[in-house]
A and B are shown apart, each in its own frame.
Chain A
Amino acid sequence: MLTLLSRRGFKMLVLPLAGFFLAAFLHSAAAQQESTLDIVKKRGTLIAGVKTDYAPFGYIDEKGNNAGFDIEIVKYIANKLGVKVELRPVTSGNRIPMLQSGTVDLLAASITMTRERWEAVNFSVPYIVIGTKFLVKKGSGIKGYPDLAGKVVAYTQGTPWGDKLTKEQPQAKALVFQDKPQAVQAVIQGKAAAYIDDAAPLVIFAKEHPELEAVGDASLPGAMGLAVRQNDSKWRNAINFALIDMWKDGTYLKLYREFFGSDPDPKFQIYTWEL
Chain B
Amino acid sequence: MVSYQFDWGVLLQYRGLLLEGLVATVELVAISLLVSLGLGVLVGVARTFLPPAFSWIFGAYTEFFRNIPPIVQFFFWYFAANFDVLPAAVIGLSVFTSAYIAEIIRSGIQAIPRTQVEAARSSGMSTLQLIVYILLPQALIRVIPPLGIEFINIVKNSAIAMTIGYTELTFQSQEIEAKTFRGFEAATAVTVLYIALAFAVVIIMHGFERLARLDIRRG
Contacts and interface: CB of A to CB of B under 8 A. Distances in A.
B177 A27 contact: no
A126 to B, nearest CB: 21
Given A2-B202, A28-B3, A101-B2, A96 B181 contact: yes
Contact of B82 (A24, A28, A159, A189): A189
A158 B181 contact: no
A120 interface: yes
B180 A120 contact: yes
A87 interface: no
Contact of B165 (A29, A32, A102, A177): A177
A28 B4 contact: yes
A166 interface: no
Given A30-B3, A191-B82, A229-B2, A158 B178 contact: yes
Contact of A178 (B3, B163, B179): B163
Nearest to A116: B179
Contact of B6 (A1, A28, A175, A177): A28
Nearest to A229: B2
A270 interface: no
A157 B6 contact: no
Most chain B beta-carbon neighbours within 10 Å: one of A24, A92, A100: A100
Most chain B beta-carbon neighbours within 10 Å: one of A101, A176, A189, A229: A176
A67 B179 CA distance: 28
Contacts of B112: none
Interface string B161-180: 00101010001001101111
B6 A24 contact: yes
A15 interface: no
- Which bracket fits the contact residues of A? 35 or more
Nearest to A175: B165
Interface in A219-254: 229
A21 B17 CA distance: 24
A185 interface: yes
Given A1-B202, A28-B4, A175-B85, A100 B181 contact: yes
A44 interface: no
A28 B2 CA distance: 8
A121 B2 CA distance: 13
Contacts of B121: none
B206 interface: yes
A32 B82 contact: no
B150 to A, nearest CB: 14
B132 interface: no
B187 to A, nearest CB: 11
A275 interface: no
A29 B4 CA distance: 8
5 contacts: A28-B5, A32-B1, A157-B171, A157-B174, A162-B175
Given A191-B84, A229-B2, 8 more contacts: A5-B199, A24-B4, A27-B4, A31-B3, A97-B183, A100-B2, A176-B165, A177-B165
A-B pairs, top 8 by smallest CB distance, nearest first, are: A102-B2, A158-B178, A96-B181, A120-B181, A32-B2, A28-B3, A31-B3, A176-B165
